[in-house]
Structure 1
């Protein structure tokens, strides 16, 4: 086995270094949040590529991805095994296949660096590492419906680089992290003026982020209001059983009555497991009347069926002074819809997930009318797509995300998902109200700071003052395109230097 590993990936120690640096990167994400570690890990990853052929660079990049995703998202097997009714070995095998496939993106990063880094010492760490990494991270976020999890920028939500988020978003932060890793590598490897310039550049990037944190990109819009988030902590194995509906409704009604002094009460994703038309008369209409009498708004997650077509949607319903509805637009493959059903055939039947054939909502923008405000809304996985969340701005006065992270048990996933929600709040300069079934529920301010939270596997509610805001951050106006444009420019510059270098070499040839 060892000779095979050595022959394919090159010398064993650089390969192990790449794998270890991928695993080390996970410590930068929640719940660990050791954000400086990521810079060290990226510097180590670049060191593992030194002297490699493009082929070996690909495999070392792939190993980095295996380390990152293998430790970072192995919780996927929980939803497949414990809640998808798969045998443990099948769930582990499919999770491993998924991780191996997603790690290919990082393999391309390693190949790209070694393919274009031919000569000039600073091209690889300062141009190709940040540019290539971000381009492939962005590609991973949308190709084949996308998997935008564990983007490097999320590790910086509590660090100095967070000040750049309202300007360049999470991909921009990823670029700065990777650039910092390249600069750190240069600081260690270079000497003289090059080392001095590298140290100054590294300090300038991080000091600049700290200074930018002081800027208020958006401004208050009207008076603050009291918002409550409910978390009933209904076990996933209980939620979809036929006899659970009444118990779940009673639990949420009890929690709601305890928070009727709030202006807004938010329930989590599919808080009620029955279709809207089945419970409208006995539950939803009386609840709406109660909300009007108490002067509050209620937003709740509920599945909705179109009785004419038979299609059903993962929805968010607002009741109180008015009723409005949003249907989830970005569905989770194999969790909410089954792609390639005609091609996969019997394999699809392995996924015994309740209500796993939702239809995609057709709302033009993710907005929900809630009382006198428009709220930018996302359901579960949708908040990982920054470009879709920003479509609600600048009209949205605040953001709402409802989720059911119970699918992933007691793992890293709920912590990572809250980290993502915090980034959406910071990027757009808006408060985020986040309600989940089993945790972690939270209310986040416009700077991405958690001001109220309810930990996992606790039943109850939290309340905090939410300040509606208006205006737009630079990221709201430009989206991901500034960061992606910068990444493209870095890779293009590296390609140009390589062409110039090749031309000069040919010119010197006899």
Structure 2
């Protein structure tokens, strides 16, 4: 077979990266990323050297993130009013930054290569997992499309969520891909007596994962609460217009009054005005209705304090005293301006309201509402599992409020819902998601979607759910266990390299 040109290899790598997106929601073909990463590892194995492997990893990353987060362009151009060419350039640069993770992994896979089995089943998966963790932390982090999400909830590897979290699942997925790559490399040349332990170990991991899916790490508190999640379906280009404010307030008041649940949840910034500016009678009406249900309503609304700071908040009203959760993990450019001296002028030209929120405290406590203790998170805060567990095990329910109308009719809402499924699995709690346009959903502690409202329709999603108590191992350890496994694996490989033959 003739050798492929570099351009052809890069095209193949980019195509493999784009195909990886089919492993995420809404497609959820969880075996596909295992095959695409195995093929990527094979390309690295056959690369001319470390730099060539890095180029292949970068091409893979451009395909992966170019297909997976192309909705960034929609938010910048369609709703942020950024010129099309500039929005496309910014999106491409963003994808190029994200593609550094597979690029560096490719470089290291050849720069510090060891025996094929150790390299592809142990070393490369550990390094790649650490790089993906770093991607979710550096510059406030963007952990979207972590490979671990592809395995939730259908794959047996999802059973490890309560133990090792999304990064642990990513490690095991990479190891599986590495085993497939190694089997392809060795073919029939190696003696099966010598090589059977590696595939046997991977198979054992998958069998154990299936068993772990049956383990109940948490238990119901014994009480159940009826919840209603409100989806107002306010178009993003109408949401912040002064002439639409009255209609928005009326719509949510009608939705609240149509709900007789003990806990009613409105989406992020459902009321597009500062809390202090909301008419007193309006808040009294919401409070009275919630008290009539012997419960509470959670309202997504911006807050402005006397010192001028403003927050993206969720405020309770009803039977319990008023409580507030203030978003602490803000979205770069959308909610705060990084590198303000350099980028402030550019970002200020975007049609994004309230661009410079203050950060809420990182040690906020669950809200005591409707007889439950609710851990609230706003928008993409639920992409950070290590932050969600700060309010656990005290919290009995997880609540996420979002406004993903920014991303139009893209696959971003489905991807976000899959992230919520991972958080439910990691914590052993129900996750209740109230969104403006979709995907409003109820996810059970097993990571399964119990109910979901149709996208881009006004809806009330009502179900009875159980508060949960107890702590999964992930709640106690966070990402420590998965990261420790990666570091131990890398240390063992380097010890093996340095030991004289």
Give the TM-score normalised by the residue count of structure 2. Answer: 0.95
How far is 1:200 from its partner? Answer: 1.9
Q: Is the 8 A contact 2:267 2:402 kept in 1?
A: yes
Check the 8 A contact 2:311/2:358 in 1, yes or no.
yes
Query: Cα–Cα, structure 1 residues 18 and 493, in superposed 2: closer, same or farther, change >3 Å?
Result: farther
List aligned pairs for 1:159-238, cutoff 5 A: 159-190=155-186, 191=188, 192-238=192-238
2:83 to 87, 97, 100: 87
Q: RMSD in angstroms over aligned alpha carbons?
A: 1.5
Give the alignment partner of residue 26 of structure 1, picking from 21, 26, 33.
Answer: 21
- Aligned counterparts, 1:324-403, within 5 A: 324-365=323-364, 367-403=366-402
- After superposition, residues 90-169 of structure 1 pair within 5 angstroms as 90-118=86-114, 120-157=115-152, 158-169=154-165
Task: Work out the CA distance in 2 between the residues paired with 1:154 and 1:61.
Answer: 20
Partner of 1:287: 286
Alignment-derived partner of residue 466 in structure 2: 467
* Per-residue CA distance 1:13-50 (angstroms, 9 max, x = gap): 44333222211111100000000011101110100101
Mapped to 2, the partners of 1:194 and 1:269 lie a distance apart of 57
State how far apart, in whole Å, the 1-side matches of 2:293 and 2:423 are: 31
SS at match of 1:415: helix
Match of 2:313 in 1: 315
Deviations 1:407-436 (A, max 9, x none): 001111000000001110110000011000
SS of aligned partner of 1:333: coil
Supply the distance in 1 between the matched residues of 2:195 and 2:224 (Cα, whole angstroms): 50
Correspondence for 1:3: none
Q: 2-side partners of 1:366 and 1:439: how far apart?
A: 27
Q: Cα offset for 1:159?
A: 1.5
- Secondary structure at the aligned position of 1:244 is classed as helix
CA-to-aligned-CA distance 1:456-478 (integer Å, 9 cap, x gap): 10111111111001000000000
1:265 aligned onto 2:264 = yes
Contact 2:257/2:289, CA 8 A, preserved across alignment = no
Q: Where does residue 409 of structure 1 map in the other structure?
A: 408
Q: Is the 8 A contact 1:431 1:468 kept in 2?
A: yes
Equivalent residues of 1:366, 1:389 under 8 A apart? no
The within-5 A match list for 1:419-498 is 419-498=418-497
Q: Does the C-alpha gap of structure 1 residues 366 and 75 become closer, same or farther in structure 2, counting only changes over 3 Å?
A: farther
CA separation of 1:254 and 1:194: change in aligned 2, threshold 3 A: farther
More deviation, 289-298/483-492:
289-298
Give the CA deviation at 1:174: 0.3
Q: Is residue 35 of structure 1 aligned with residue 38 of structure 2?
A: no
SS at match of 2:299: strand
Provide Cα deviations, 1:34-78, integer angstroms capped at 9, x if missing partner.
Answer: 000111011101001014311112111111111110100011001
Q: Structure 1 regions of 5+ residues with no counterpart?
A: 1-5, 505-510
Is 1:256 equivalent to 2:256 in the alignment?
yes
- Whether the aligned pair in 2 keeps the contact of 1:318 and 1:369 (CA below 8 Å) is no
Aligned length: 491
Helix, strand or coil at the partner of 2:278: helix
SS in 2 for 1:355: coil
3-state SS in 2 of match to 1:243 = helix
How far apart, CA to CA, are the structure 1 residues paired with 2:54 and 2:163? Answer: 32
Please give the secondary structure, in 1, of the residue aligned with 2:243: coil
1:46 and 2:44 aligned: no
